Amino acid sequence: MKITTRFLSVTASVLALSALTACVAPAPVYQTTRYPYEPVQPIARGPYIEYGHVANIEVLRTETGGTGTSGGGAIAGGLVGGALGNQFGGGSGRAAATALGLVGGALLGNSIEAHNNGPRAYQSYRVSVETDTGAYRAFDVPSPGDLRIGDRVRIDNGRISRM
C-alpha cells in the first residue's frame, strides 16, 4: 500500500510539473522584414523616384499590456509543491512539509504565470528622409539596416535604399 501511495504522489508530481512547463514564456515576435524596406502600395501609379539623405533615425517603442494572472499557475504550483512536500517526513512532519510545499508552490506558480503574462515591449524605427526638393518623408521600418544619418538614399515607389 505504501508503494502505491508513493507511486501515485510521484506520478501526480510529474503530471503537475509537466503542466507547469506549458506555462513557459511565448517566443518573442521578431520582424523578419529586412532593409531595404518596401511597404505595401495601395495604388500602383507608375515609377516615381526621389533622392535625398537620411535626416534622422528615431527608435519607436510600443508596449502591449499584460493579461495578469488567472490563478491557474497558483493552482498548478500548489499541486506540485504539495505533492513534493508530501514526500518528506512522517506523521505531523509530513503534514507540515505538505502544507509548506503547497503554499510555496502556489506562490512560485503565480509568480511564473505573472511573468509570462506580463507586458511586452517592441521596438521599430522611423527613418526621416529629406528629399532633394526639400520635402521630408518618414518611413517606419522594423530595422534601419545599414542606414545612418547623412546617408544618400533613393526612394523608388516608396521603397528606400541606400546609394
The SS3 call for residue 63 is strand
Spatial distance between the Cα atoms of 103 and 63, rounded to a whole number of angstroms:
33
Spatial distance between the Cα atoms of 94 and 102, rounded to a whole number of angstroms:
12
Render each residue's pLDDT in the chain as its tens digit; 163 residues: 455 666 767 777 766 666 666 665 555 554 444 555 555 444 555 567 889 999 999 999 888 877 778 888 888 888 888 888 888 888 888 888 888 998 999 999 988 888 888 888 889 999 999 999 888 999 988 888 889 999 999 988 878 888 8
pLDDT at position 46, please? 53
pLDDT at position 115, please? 84
Spatial distance between the Cα atoms of 29 and 142, rounded to a whole number of angstroms:
11
Q: Where do the domains of the chain lie?
A: 1-27+68-117, 44-65+119-163
Distance of CA 145 to the CA centre of its chain: 22
Cα Rg for the chain, rounded, in angstroms?
28
Q: Which residue has the cell 522594423?
A: 142
pLDDT at position 86, please? 87
* Type of residue found at 41: Q
